Amino acid sequence: MKVLVTCPPMLGMIDEFRSTFANAGVELFAAEVVQTMPEEKLEELLPNFDGWIIGDDPATARVLRAGASGKLKAIVKWGVGIDNVDFNAARSLGLSACNTPNVFGREVADLAMNYVSGLARHTFYIDREIRERCAWPKPAGISLAGKIVALVGYGDIGKNTASRLVAAEMGLNVYDPALTVVPNERINHLQWPNGLEEADFLVFTCPLLPATYHMFDDSILPKLKRGVRVVNVGRGQVIKESALIKALEEHIVHSVALDVFESEPLPVDSLLREYPYNIFGSHNASNTRDAVFRVSTQAIELLFDYLETGK
């Protein structure tokens, strides 16, 4: 049997898993991928493989249909986000399919907290000025204690982010329709977009769903507190970037920290680059060696089980 791996974090450690594939008698094909593999290339490759460990690639009905027309029997989405995988199409084609849920809450929350602190104290800006300009800047930041965070999403990542924010003595307004019990006296459960005028930080940890697509758009700009700082470690399409740029231009939003974008990698001509206090990531929030090894092992086990049992 042959397995295709297209997940960049797993590919970065792929040598550590080669023996696992070899011992199982499975041929591993480690694709060369920066972020995602295009549909056309996947349509060409997948019919030759029995299994596929997916990153953020477009696992569309078209792609899965091409795979199922050949050898493809099972797919595993590496990680939590599933917006790029058509699981309904997988089921209709008879493919065994799953993701690896609830695996990166702590790692992504660590980065979200780092971004909140970085925006508050301009640490990334100061570092760049010292390195690139030999400057010695001393911009005045803001304290975290007593500030209000609008936290969008209270799943595994959101809960872990909340615990870190509460430890910093921040107050939380949480937006998640699935939340039924408020676990902490510093947490208020609100319906979007109520209470946004209170928020000093707006932090997105939610998945991409029809209800979360462009949650941040032009309509919420009048509701925002002037000088709010925005963090997104969820999915890029949760934020309409043209509205975010407008908010930066009009000084409604002070600065942003984005690990994800509507278009990835971030285009060279993106106007987001023009704001020196902004912080950018490379859709890399979950990527620690510990987490990648743990989740890759889980993904391999799930895929091998599918291929062995046919279920």
Tell which residue, 236, 187, 190, has the closest CA to residue 214: 236
Whether 122 and 150 share a structural domain: yes
Whether 97 and 117 share a structural domain: no
pLDDT at residue 184 in the model: 77
pLDDT digits (tens, 9 = 90+) for 41-75: 999 999 999 999 999 999 999 999 999 999 999 99
Whether 124 and 161 share a structural domain: yes
pLDDT at residue 311 in the model: 62
Whether the Cβ atoms of residue 39 and residue 63 lie closer than 8 Å to each other = yes
Whether 132 and 44 share a structural domain: no
**Mean of pLDDT values over 198-225:** 97
**Mean of pLDDT values over 195-223:** 97
Whether 176 and 255 share a structural domain: yes
Q: Give CA separation, 27 vs 65, 172, 189, in Å.
A: 22, 48, 49
Whether 22 and 150 share a structural domain: no
**Token output for 262:** 């509507």
pLDDT at residue 38 in the model: 96
Whether 167 and 223 share a structural domain: yes
Total domain count, the chain? 2
Residue 241 CA to its chain's centroid (Å): 16
Whether 271 and 189 share a structural domain: yes
In 142-203, alpha helices (H)? 156-167
Whether 179 and 305 share a structural domain: no
pLDDT at residue 182 in the model: 78
Q: Is 235 a catalytic residue?
A: yes
Reply yes or no on whether the pLDDT at 310 is more than 90.
no
Q: Is 44 a catalytic residue?
A: no
Whether 69 and 148 share a structural domain: no
Mean pLDDT over the full length of the chain: 96
* CATH number for the domain harbouring residue 234: 3.40.50.720
Q: Which helix (H) or strand (E) holds 246?
A: helix 241-249
Q: What number of other Cβ atoms are within 10 A of residue 30's Cβ?
A: 17
Whether 160 and 206 share a structural domain: yes
Whether 68 and 19 share a structural domain: yes
Active-site residue, from 107, 235, 241, 254? 235
Label residue 186 by pLDDT band (50, 70, 90).
Answer: confident
pLDDT digits (tens, 9 = 90+) for 234-265: 999 999 999 999 999 999 999 999 999 999 99
pLDDT at residue 185 in the model: 81
Tell which residue, 66, 50, 68, 56, has the closest CA to residue 3: 50
Distance, first Cα to last Cα, the chain: 16
Residues 6+ apart with CB under 8 A from 98: 76, 77, 302
Whether the Cβ atoms of residue 89 and residue 60 lie closer than 8 Å to each other = yes
Reply yes or no on whether the pLDDT at 276 is more than 80.
yes
Peptide bond into 265 cis (omega under 30): yes
In 13-143, alpha helices (H)? 18-23, 39-45, 61-68, 87-92, 105-121, 123-133
**Mean of pLDDT values over 151-159:** 96
Tell which residue, 87, 94, 73, has the closest CA to residue 304: 73
Q: Report the percentage of the chain scoring pLDDT > 90.
A: 95
Q: Is 186 a catalytic residue?
A: no
Q: Provide the domain limits for residue 139.
A: 105-280
